Structure 1
Amino acid sequence: MSARVAIVTGAGRGIGRAIAVRLMADGYTVLGCGRSARGGDFPEGAEWTQASVAETSGVDKISAAAQALGRIALLVNNAGVQVEKTTMDSTDADWDLVIGANCRGVFNMCRAVLPMMEQSGGVIVNIGSISATAADPSMALYNASKAFVHGLTRSIAIDHGPNVRCNAIAPGWILTEMADDAFALANDPEAAKRDALARHPVGRMGTPEDIANMVSWLASDQAAYISGASFTVDGGMTAASPLNPGLF
């Protein structure tokens, strides 16, 4: 029962899967979870629990599975969904879906692990978004939900230290299926991708592994003096003027 357990929500693909792989390499016993059954490409050696973080029963199931593996040392709240609609077009069902996963889910998971972490120490890393402060068009509920994630991160840090550190990561354009869905909203998706690429000073868009590396560092002792912070990982995109560099 001395194993360090890391819970990674929304771990079945993309960023979540990359985080699970990295944390296994760091020596954690990893419990991934998601609404779907375990996928064939989920890393061997990691555990899986099928459950929804938006539901109390699902969170209880995840928490029990993690405690059976050892001490919960790290929670990575990665699970999230998006709906490509404006405020006016969003329905009650859209609200329940996005706020349920992106807000209630993060809150539920944090509330579940905090009593244990306050006793034995632990780290929470919440995956937010640059959309929390720079809204993407036709993504009203997603933008708002990520602002909630960053706000909750600060509250947890100040309310539950010193044994608990809580930080957030704000990814930019990461090459995942969710990013493809967002680009598909454009009149010309390929042109939108080229324009997005031109806005990245590092010359590329992000990969899931870029976010996994940041999670690994925030969970480590090297980040022991960091809590309540949000780290932008976007290849420099939001540091730039909105002028398209390709026009000059």
Structure 2
Amino acid sequence: MDNRVVLVTGGANGIGRGIANYLSKNTIVIAADIDENAGFQLVSENPLIRFKHLDVTNEQQIESLVEEIKYQHGRLDAVINNAAIANPYNAPLQELDLYDWNNALAVNLTAPMLMAKHTLSLLKETNGCIVNIASTRYLQSEPNTEAYSATKGGIVSLTHALATSLGPEVRVNCISPGWIHTSDEELREADHQQHLIGRVGNVDDIASMVGYLLSKEAGFITGQNFVIDGGMTKKMIYSE
């Protein structure tokens, strides 16, 4: 293990959990999540990971966490902005409550901006990286997904804006996952076969790209969005 320190938000569940486990093989990983039970379960299974309770919509909590990282580790090499409201569906537009819309914005879009803001000084010292997790829903939608789709589109735009503002010291990139299976629910063969690659994605498909984007080999890559979806967004589908 080297001495690099990586912060993963939403790191106790789903894709974030997979990223934390993957990166813990050779870096110091701090998984921050609002779900304490899932966080404690994570570190009980993988003691290499440090868990921190965090509400990403609370700027004071973000500031406190960054100060704690600075005090305990003296450095920060990367931030993975993964925390999000995972359910992409909202009420039909005529019934959509403004609270739900604003909450989606706060968690999915404002929080990554705040995290970049408060980790910037540490990341500049290490020529570090930010990787934002968006979604293929930034470019295609189902009905009643306005809040989620809008925030994920915002993440893609935020990524190239940050890359422009923070370079050359800090690189900023984005990953847009498609269908990534994160539960124990059994999938149908039809679920796999609708993908051009012949299977639904898994968390390591995303985590391995995160690992690459943090590496020296990706040193010439910034401001980019990488779609990892088994080819689904390139597949033309008509009803027969």
Pair in the same fold by TM > 0.5: yes
With over 3 angstroms needed to count, the CA separation of the structure-2 counterparts of 1:133 and 1:72, relative to structure 1, is same
CA RMSD of aligned residues (A): 1.9
Structure 2 counterpart of 1:7, one-letter code: L
Give the partner amino acid of 2:77: A
Greater shift, 81-90 or 123-132, is seen at 81-90
- In structure 2, the partner of 1:71 is 75
Aligned to 2:22: 22
The answer on whether the counterparts of 1:153 and 1:167 sit within 8 Å (CA) in structure 2 is yes
- Provide the residue aligned with 1:88 in structure 2: 94
- Of residues 57, 60, 82, the one that matches 2:63 is 60
- C-alpha distance in 1 between matches for 2:69 and 2:163: 22
Unpaired runs of 5+ residues, structure 1, are 181-189
Task: Give yes or no for contact 2:40–2:51 (8 Å, CA) kept in 1.
Answer: no
Matched, 1:242 2:237: yes
Secondary structure, in 3 states, of the residue corresponding to 1:71? coil
Of all paired residues, the percent bearing the same amino acid is 30
Q: TM-score, normalised by structure 1?
A: 0.86
Query: Counterpart of 1:112 in structure 2: which amino acid?
Result: H
What residue number does 1:115 align with? 121
Aligned partner of 1:44 among 19, 42, 47 = 47
Deviations 1:169-203 (A, max 9, x none): 000001135xx8xxxxxxxxx8xx66653430111
Q: Which residue of the partner structure matches residue 106 of structure 1?
A: 112
2:179 match: 173
**Separation in structure 2 between the aligned mates of residue 88 and residue 28 of structure 1, nearest angstrom:** 47
Shift of 1:13: 1.4
> What TM-score comes out, normalization by structure 2 length?
0.89
Query: Of the candidates 155, 160, 163, which is equivalent to residue 161 of structure 2?
Result: 155
1:36-78 superposed Cα distances (whole Å, 9 cap, x missing partner): 2123133212111101111112211321232222310010000
2:214 is matched by which residue type in structure 1? Answer: A
Correspondence 1:215 to 2:210: yes
Instruction: Determine the C-alpha separation between the residues in 1 that align with 2:197 and 2:104.
Output: 31
Kindly tell me the number of residue pairs found equivalent between the two proteins: 230
Counterpart in 2 of 1:34? 33
3-state secondary structure, aligned to 2:238: coil
Structure 2 portions without partners, runs of 5+: none
Q: Contact 2:191–2:199 (CA<8 Å) still a contact in 1? A: no
Which one is further off, 53-62 or 11-20? 53-62
Equivalent position SS for 2:209: helix
